[in-house]
Amino acid sequence: MPDVKLITFDLDNTLWDVDSVIRKAENSLRAWLLEEVPEVVTRYPPEAMIELRTTLLQDNPQWRHNLSLLREELLYQAIRRSGYGEREARKHAADAFAVFLDARHEVEYFAGALEALAELARDFTLGALTNGNADIGKLNLDRYFSFGYSAASVGVGKPAPDIFHAALKHANASATETIHVGDHLVDDIHGANEVGMHTIWPPADRRSPLPDRRTIASERVDLYCPCG
């Protein structure tokens, strides 16, 4: 393997458990809605919000790659349909989304994650590649990562090659000089393999058993790392 120049990382479920983060963010959002626009909470319990989200995605499938836009538009539609005027609904939706986004960045890193980033950043260029809306600046991770790309910023999410190619171009690195680290076997490992990158797979469920050899071989996993 050529000398490694670039290491890219997924964020959610690779550096922290995203499910617990989103649950807390949803709770913060719901509390804000109950205080500021209680009609929305009454008209749109969680199952109704899921149904509305599904409808919005059916009508606007491109929003699947921009979770911030999707979330804010979902809030706007729920507020607007609860009897608020357009301007007022837009303002409430923006404020509600800000509450969610702040809480969404209150993460608890996996043990050793920050220490590993700090050590790797001394010798390699690090980049963040995410399908979500975590912001490395808001997380103060830009002290380790030289750059970051999201599905929203490139227009399509992993496993499509666009985000991986964007990282290689940014770092002026070849795929064979690059390692991608990510928890998702398809979005991260398969996607990175398809452009020729090396891969390290720390599964989202750190308690999961070692996958069988055929699974690892089929996705050309260079290193399986049930760490954390």
How much of the chain exceeds pLDDT 90, in percent? 86
User: What pLDDT shows up at residue 3?
Assistant: 87
Helix H or strand E encompassing 150: strand 147-150
Residue 202 pLDDT: 84
Q: Which CATH number applies to 6-16+109-224: 3.40.50.1000, 3.40.605.10, 3.30.360.10, 3.30.70.360?
A: 3.40.50.1000
Q: Do domains 6-16+109-224 and 19-104 have the same CATH topology?
A: no
What pLDDT digit, counting tens, does each position of 56-96 carry? 999 999 999 999 999 999 999 999 999 999 999 999 999 99
Domain ranges in the chain are 6-16+109-224, 19-104
Could you read off the pLDDT of 95-115 as tens digits, one per residue?
A: 999 999 999 999 999 999 999
Per-residue pLDDT at 19:
95
Q: What share of the chain is helix, strand, coil (3-state, %, to 5)?
A: 55, 10, 35
Cβ-Cβ contacts under 8 Å for 109 (sequence gap 6 or more): 15, 16
Give the pLDDT band (50/70/90) at residue 178.
Answer: very high
Q: 19-104: which CATH architecture?
A: Up-down Bundle (1.20)
**Residue 127 confidence (pLDDT) above 60:** yes
Query: Which tens digit of pLDDT belongs to each residue from 18-36?
Result: 999 999 999 999 999 999 9
Q: In angstroms, rounded to a whole number, what is the distance separating the alpha carbons of residues 57 and 9?
A: 27
> What do you get for the CA distance between the two ends of the chain, in Å?
26
Q: Could you give the CA distance from residue 152 to residue 166 in angstroms, rounded to a whole number?
A: 13
